């Protein structure tokens, strides 16, 4: 297979460009990992040796940083990313009950994605919405005073929106 037709080659070249863009700055590993995740949605195991080589680090050193920081994902996220606040204010107002409901409802634990790839459930340790606890964030939207019923409604509505956006982006303009 020619290099131009090899999607792995395109991926490799993209990661190399990211590494080259940041390699000269002090503490380059974290900015590189952020840029890779921004570009691809996660930091894949295939990216680790490319990053390691570019920074003269071992693959284990790069993997250690990826696995240490909860922000970095090592697998693709769902179409929706749902974060449930686990900070003290939200816990005092029922986030533990909400967490248990979300896990049951979605059939996943924290840091997992539903089987259909629709939703990734993540813990977060403060959304800055303490006056409206418990809070969740779905994508860039923060919701307050969330209980089991409103959680289900929010996820259903936003999941439907995500499906419609994907449907429309494929050229189906007739709904």
Question: What CATH number is associated with residue 114?
Answer: 3.40.30.10
| Domain shared by 62 and 88, yes or no | no
pLDDT for res 8: 60
| Domain shared by 86 and 59, yes or no | no
Instruction: Record the tokens describing residue 141, joined without a space.
Output: 């939207």
Instruction: Provide CB contacts within 8 A for 119, sequence distance 6+.
Output: 78, 79, 80, 81, 82, 106, 108, 113, 155, 159
| Domain shared by 125 and 163, yes or no | yes
pLDDT for res 3: 43
In a domain, 160, yes or no: yes
pLDDT for res 63: 97
In a domain, 73, yes or no: no
Q: Are β-strands 119-124 and 80-85 bridged in parallel, bridged antiparallel, or unpaired?
A: parallel
| Domain shared by 86 and 160, yes or no | yes
In the block, residue with structure tokens 């696995």: 67
| Domain shared by 88 and 156, yes or no | yes
| Domain shared by 46 and 108, yes or no | no
| Domain shared by 93 and 161, yes or no | yes
pLDDT digit string (tens) for the chain, length 175 residues: 444 455 568 999 999 999 999 999 999 999 999 999 999 999 999 999 999 999 999 999 999 999 998 889 888 999 999 999 999 999 999 999 999 999 999 999 998 999 999 999 999 999 999 999 999 999 889 999 999 999 999 999 987 765 444 444 444 444 4
| Domain shared by 137 and 62, yes or no | no
Instruction: Record the tokens describing residue 85, joined without a space.
Output: 């606040």
| Domain shared by 24 and 54, yes or no | yes
| Domain shared by 59 and 110, yes or no | no
Tally the domains of the chain: 2
In a domain, 74, yes or no: no
pLDDT for res 6: 58
In a domain, 174, yes or no: no
In a domain, 53, yes or no: yes
Residue 90's domain comprises 80-169
Rounded distance between C-alpha atoms, residue 12 and residue 105, angstroms? 38
């Amino acid at each position: 297979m020619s290099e131009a037709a090899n999607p792995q080659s395109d991926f490799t070249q993209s990661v190399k460009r990211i590494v080259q863009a940041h390699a000269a700055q002090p503490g380059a590993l974290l900015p590189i990992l952020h840029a890779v995740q921004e570009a691809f949605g996660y930091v894949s195991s295939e990216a680790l040796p490319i990053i390691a080589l570019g920074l003269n680090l071992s693959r284990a050193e790069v993997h250690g940083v990826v696995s240490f920081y909860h922000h970095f994902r090592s697998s693709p996220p769902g179409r929706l990313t749902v974060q449930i606040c686990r900070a003290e204010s939200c816990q005092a107002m029922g986030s533990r009950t909400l967490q248990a409901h979300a896990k049951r409802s979605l059939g996943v634990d924290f840091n997992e994605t539903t089987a259909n790839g629709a939703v990734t459930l993540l813990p977060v340790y403060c959304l800055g919405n303490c006056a409206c606890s418990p809070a969740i964030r779905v994508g860039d939207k923060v919701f307050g005073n969330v209980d089991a019923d409103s959680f289900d409604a929010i996820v259903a509505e936003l999941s439907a929106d995500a499906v419609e956006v994907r449907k429309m982006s494929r050229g189906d303009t007739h709904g």
